[in-house]
Amino acid sequence: MIIIKGIPGSVGVITGVARVIIDQHHLQAFKSGEILVTKQTSPAWTPIFMAAKAIVTEIGGQLSHAAIVAREYGIPAVVGVPNATKLLKSGIKIEVNGTKGTIQVL
Amino acid sequence: MRWTRKFFNQFEWLHKPISPLEESFLLPLQINKSGSLISERLGLKLPDKYWSIIDGYLYFSDEYWKLFLQLGTLQLPKRIKTEIDISSKRWITKVLPEYQKEINKLNKLSLNELSVKKLLELFKKTGELESWFFSESLYVGVVCGITELLFKYSYPLFVKDSDNNNYRELLLGYPDKGIDMDTQLWEVAQISDEQKKQLQLGKWIEKYGYRIQDKDLIYPTLGEETELLNSYLKLYRETLNPKLKLMLTNEKRINREKFVKQNARFRIRLFEWILNQAQNYSQIRNSRPFYYQGNSIMRKILFSIKLKANFPQDKNDIFYITMKELEEVVSNKFSKESLQKIINERKQTYYKQLLIEPQFSIEA
C-alpha cells in the first residue's frame, strides 16, 4: 500500500483516476471528473477546478490558491506533496484524503 | 549573505526563472514599492537589501526574522488592529476604483497611432501603475493572512468543536471574482451553436482575457491562449453546472455559523470582531489576483514596439532583453545582429535555469 503525504488543503475523501498535467498546454488531456495532479496552479488554471474531482499539487500551503479554490468548490485537495507528478502516473486509481493530507495509490 | 526561498513553497508564484525584462524593470519596482508600503503602514524598517535574484530565481534575505527585533515591533499589535479596521475599505473604495479608472484610460488608447518612443513611455507608465496596484494588493493580502491566522487560533478558544479546522467553513461561499469568471466561461461552453459560442468567447476574452498565469511579463495572459480556452470549453461540456457546488459551499458556511452560535464557549465581542474581519477579508483575498490587468496591456505595448522597431525574429525575443537595452533599441542605438546574439545567449541561459530546481537556501 503506497501512501504519499502532503498538506491538507481542502477536506473530504474521494477516489478517482489521476491525471498528471505539468504544462497547461496539455490540459486537453484532462477529462471531467478526474483528479488533477500537477506541480502548481495559478489563476489561469482555476477553470479546471470546476471539472476536477480532487486536486493534488507539489507546491502550495493551506493558504495557497489551489487550497482556497478547492474549498470553494467543495472538492478535496492535498497540497505541498513533494514529487507528486513523478510518484503518481496518469490513469492510476488513487484515493485523495484532503482531511488527513494523504494520497493512497489503489 | 544568506538567501532563502522559504516562503515560496506556500504559494504558487515565481517558481520559474525570471525573464531579463521582468528582472530589470517590473519586479524591482513591485518589490520595492511593496516593501515601502508595508514598512510605512506597519512601522517596521526594512533593511536596504532584502531581496536578490540569483541564477534567475527570486530569493529573500535569510535574516527576515530580524525585522521583528526593532522598537517598531512594540507598536505592531496596535498598528495591525488599525490596519485591519481600515484596509478593506481602502482597497474597495479607493484602490480598486482608482486602478480601474487608469486601466480603462489605457485600454482606450490606440497603440497603432503611437510612435515607438511614446509606446515606451506608455510601457513605463503602465509598469508604475501596475507596481502601485501590486503593492496595495500584496499589502491587503498580508492583512487577509493576519485576519485568517487570528481567526484560526482563536476559534478553538471560543468554540467547542471536535475539529478545529472547521473554522475554514466560515470563510467560504462569498462572491469570488475568479469563480464568477469561470462560471461565465462555463455558460459560454453550454452554447450549442458554434458561431454564437465563439462570439461569446470573444466577449469573454475582452472582459476577462487579461488573467495572468504568473507574475512575469513573459507569460501570455489567458486571453492570448485561445487553444487552451477552447480546451476549457470542451471540458465544460462534460461538467455539471458549478452553481450547485457553490450553493452547497454557501450552505456549509451558514450551517457552521449556526453551529458557532450554538456552541460558543462564551459570547464575547472580541471573537465576533475577529470572525467578522476574517470573513470580510476572505472575500478580498480570493479575488485579488483576478484584478491584475497591467500585464496584458504591457504585453500589447511590447508587441507594438517590436513591430514598429522592426525587432529581431521571434515575438517573444523582447522579454530576453533588459529595460536599458529596450530603451537603446527604441533609440536605434543597437545593431540587430548584436542584439540577436545577446537574446540567443540569454534564451539558452533561461532554458537551462528552467530545468534546475533552485536551491532552497544559498550563500551569495
How near does any CA of chain B get to the CA of A39, in Å?
Answer: 9
d(CA B13, CA B147): 22
Question: Which cell numbers hold the place of B73?
Answer: 515591533
pTM of the model: 0.94
CATH number, residue A21: 3.50.30.10
Residue ranges in A1-104 assigned as alpha helix (H): 65-73, 84-87
The larger pLDDT score, comparing residue B116 to residue B7, is at B116
Residue B238: inside a domain, yes or no?
yes
Q: Which of B137, B169, B205, B239 to substitute to test the interface with A, most A CBs within 10 Å?
A: B239
Q: Which of A10, A41, A50 to substitute to test the interface with B, most B CBs within 10 Å?
A: A50
Q: Which of A101-105, B68-72, B127-131, B172-176 has the lowest mean pLDDT?
A: B68-72
Residue B38: inside a domain, yes or no?
no
Q: What is the pLDDT at residue B68?
A: 82
Residue B108: inside a domain, yes or no?
no
d(CA B363, CA A54): 39
Q: What is the mean pLDDT of residues B27-41?
A: 95
For residue A26, indicate whether it is catalytic.
no
Whether the per-residue pLDDT at A46 is higher than 90: the answer is no
Residue ranges in B64-193 assigned as alpha helix (H): 72-90, 96-108, 116-158, 177-189
- Catalytic one among A14, A15, A65, A73? A65
Residue B350, by phi and psi: left (phi above 0), alpha (psi -120 to 50) or beta?
alpha
Q: What is the mean pLDDT of residues B207-223?
A: 94
pLDDT tens digit sequence for B306-333: 988 877 678 899 999 999 999 998 988 8
Q: Which of B9, B12, B242 sits opposite A50 (nearest CB)?
A: B242
- Mean pLDDT, chain A, whole residue set: 93
Q: What is the pLDDT at residue A97?
A: 97
Q: What is the pLDDT at residue B315?
A: 85
Whether the per-residue pLDDT at B54 is higher than 80: the answer is yes
pLDDT tens digit sequence for B77-112: 999 999 999 999 999 999 999 999 999 999 999 999
Looking at the structure of chain B, the number of domains it has is: 1
Question: Which cell numbers hold the place of B33?
Answer: 514599492
Residues of chain B neighbouring A32 (CB-CB closer than 8 A): 235-236, 238-239
CB neighbours (10 Å) of residue B35? 17
Q: Which residue of A has its CA nearest to B234?
A: A28
Max distance between CA atoms of chain B, in angstroms, equals: 74
Residue ranges in chain B assigned as alpha helix (H): 20-21, 27-42, 72-90, 96-108, 116-158, 177-189, 194-208, 226-237, 242-263, 269-287, 294-308, 323-330, 336-355
Q: What is the mean pLDDT of residues A37-46?
A: 88
Percentage of chain A modeled with pLDDT above 90: 78
d(CA A67, CA B275): 20
Q: Which residue of A has its CA nearest to B242?
A: A50
Q: Which domain holds residue B233?
A: 165-266
Q: What is the pLDDT at residue A45?
A: 85
Looking at the structure of chain A, the number of domains it has is: 1
Residues of chain B neighbouring A47 (CB-CB closer than 8 A): 182, 185, 232, 235-236
The larger pLDDT score, comparing residue A16 to residue B62, is at A16
Residue B361: inside a domain, yes or no?
no
Q: What is the pLDDT at residue B70?
A: 85
pLDDT tens digit sequence for B261-277: 999 988 788 999 999 99
Question: Which cell numbers hold the place of B17?
Answer: 526563472
Exposed e or buried b per residue across B166-191, where buried means at least 16 C-beta atoms within 10 angstroms of its C-beta: bbbbbbbbbebbbbebbbebbebbee
Element (H, E) at A93: strand A93-97
Q: What is the pLDDT at residue B310?
A: 76
Q: Which domain holds residue A44?
A: 2-105
Q: What is the pLDDT at residue A39?
A: 92
Q: What is the pLDDT at residue B291?
A: 94
